[in-house]
Amino acid sequence: MARTAGSHSALTAPRIREAAQELFARHGYAAVSMRQIAAEVGVQVGALYNYTPDKQSLLFDLMTAHLDALLAAQAAEDRPADPMQALEAFARFHIRYHAERPDAVFIAYMELRNLTPDNFATVETLRHRYEDRLSAILSAGQAAGAFRIAEPRIATMAIIAMLTGVNTWFRQSGRLSLSEVEDVYWDMTRRLVTG
Amino acid sequence: MARTAGSHSALTAPRIREAAQELFARHGYAAVSMRQIAAEVGVQVGALYNYTPDKQSLLFDLMTAHLDALLAAQAAEDRPADPMQALEAFARFHIRYHAERPDAVFIAYMELRNLTPDNFATVETLRHRYEDRLSAILSAGQAAGAFRIAEPRIATMAIIAMLTGVNTWFRQSGRLSLSEVEDVYWDMTRRLVTG
């Protein structure tokens, strides 16, 4: 790889990602040009190509960076041995992490259609790795007799969709704090696997 | 309004909607031009303007038509007096109706950002009208002592997100039929409000 590192580059790469993320979230990937991204960052479009070969790579980088960071953050959380406590930790983490990153989450779901087949496969693998962690908690709870789940994989998808749905309506300025919202969703998640 | 009705118009208006829906779902609203929609339908772009004043109106028409049809279809369903049976009917209807219309559902969620403020307000009113029906069932069940729900409005959002999530993973060719998937989700929904 060409030597592009240094203080200028180190500053610009995150700014490119940030600009691309904001523009993709606002207008959609297909509607945003490399020229617009360069203008948003305040560089010439030619300079953009020092950091990324094309727009597809930029989208792929954003999605994999989001999922890598999600996996790392979740791995850094406490993982209680007790399945009920582990599920609570997962549910609360998921809500908090996603509510704080609405643009990245929006893109990660919405722009799957715009990934090349190879890039899509890589992104799906990362996403499955995250889902597998919840499935493992559900299976452990099932094995321990703490949970009653007919279809662990479907329960995984259902819980993730329910929790991520917070992003469609939650506003910091609303009646409930995020921590209160966490409480309500944790209560529903617990019932869903035990009730 | 100008007289544009007749057999030709009657055929073309749904075809325009269908073409716009497919193109918006595939590429995103902002990336699709009126010219592309005209080409997909097989008419000149000028002819398109006989049917719709602009692309925004087309998006707004698609979203309101989807929500109007959803409200009408749900109203035509049985509405059992018993809250548990009413909730089951709602949950099964929701899954079935949305799973059969992935493009319309995708657009209705994803392109909210591209509506003008007035159009957004109208679409939100229709969506709330649908959510209110589920909230009414939950409140009736709560009042009758059949459900235990801490926050009926949040439970409404949680259940709708969970059920709509079927669209992100369900494939007709998969291991489970849609009717089996309905069974699993109904079981989870029931537990969520009673467990």
| Residue B172 confidence (pLDDT) above 90 | no
pLDDT at A13: 85
- Average pLDDT value over all residues in chain B: 92
As to burial, measured by CB atoms within 10 angstroms (0-12 exposed, 13-18 middle, 19+ buried), residue A114 is buried
Categorize the per-residue pLDDT at B7 as very low, low, confident or very high, splitting at 50, 70 and 90. Answer: very low
Confidence of residue A12 (pLDDT cuts 50, 70, 90): confident
Helical spans, DSSP H, in chain B: 7-27, 34-41, 45-48, 55-76, 83-99, 102-110, 117-143, 152-164, 166-169, 178-194
- Closest chain A residue to the Cα of B156, Cα to Cα: A162
Best to test chain B binding among A87, A109, A111, A162 (most B CBs inside 10 Å): A162
Q: What is the CA radius of gyration of chain B?
A: 19
Closest listed residue to residue B194, CA positions, set A135, A186, A89, A190:
A190
Band of residue A3 on the pLDDT scale cut at 50, 70, 90: very low
Give yes or no for residue B11 having a pLDDT over 60.
yes
CB hemisphere CA count around B111 (13 angstroms): 33
| pLDDT(A152) > 80 | yes
Token pair, residue B82, equals: 């018993």
Nearest one of B115, B97, B165, B18 to A109, comparing CA atoms: B165
Question: Across the interface, do A168 and B161 touch by the CB < 8 Å criterion?
Answer: yes
Span B38-69, pLDDT tens digits:
999 999 999 899 899 999 999 999 999 999 99
What's the Cα-to-Cα distance from A136 to each of A133, A147, B7, B47, rounded to whole Å? Answer: 5, 12, 58, 56
pLDDT band at A11 (very low <50, low <70, confident <90, very high): low
Give B111-161 pLDDT, tens digit per residue. Answer: 999 999 999 999 999 999 999 999 999 999 999 999 999 899 999 999 999
Distance CA B122, CA B64 (A): 8
In angstroms, the separation between the Cα of residue B155 and the nearest Cα of chain A is 8
The reported pLDDT for the residue numbered B150 is: 87
Would the CB atoms of B110 and A113 count as touching at under 8 Å?
no
Q: Using CA atoms, how far apart are residues B5 and B51, in angstroms rounded to an integer?
A: 10
How is chain A split into domains, by residue range?
1-52, 54-194
Q: B1-52: which CATH architecture?
A: Orthogonal Bundle (1.10)
Q: What are phi and psi of B54, to 5 degrees?
A: -170, 180
C-beta atoms of B162 and A158 within 8 A:
yes
To the question of domain B54-194 being in CATH 1.10.357.10, the answer is yes
pLDDT at residue B186 in the model:
98
> Which of A113, A151, A157 has the CB atom closest to B165's CB atom?
A157
* Chain B interface, best mutation among A115, A179, A188, A190, by max B CB count within 10 A: A188
Give the separation between CA A64 and CA A98, rounded to whole angstroms.
15
pLDDT surpasses 50 at B162 = yes
Whether the CB-CB separation of A190 and A146 falls below 8 Å is answered with no
Which residues, 6+ apart, have CB-to-CB distance to A72 below 8 Å?
Answer: none
Distance CA A116, CA A34 (A): 18
What whole-number distance in Å separates Cα of residue A62 and Cα of residue B107? 22
- Using the structure block, give the residue that is written with the tokens 């998937």: B181
Cite the DSSP H helix spans in A28-116.
34-41, 45-48, 55-76, 83-99, 102-110
What number of residues does chain B have?
Answer: 195
Question: How large is the greatest C-alpha to C-alpha distance in chain B, in angstroms?
Answer: 60
ipTM comes to 0.91
Contact A161 B157 (CB under 8 A): no
- Testing the interface with B: which of A149, A153, A154, A184 to mutate, by most B Cβ within 10 A? A154
Could you read off the pLDDT of B13-42 as tens digits, one per residue?
889 999 999 999 999 999 999 999 999 999
Asked if residue A16 has pLDDT above 80, the reply is yes
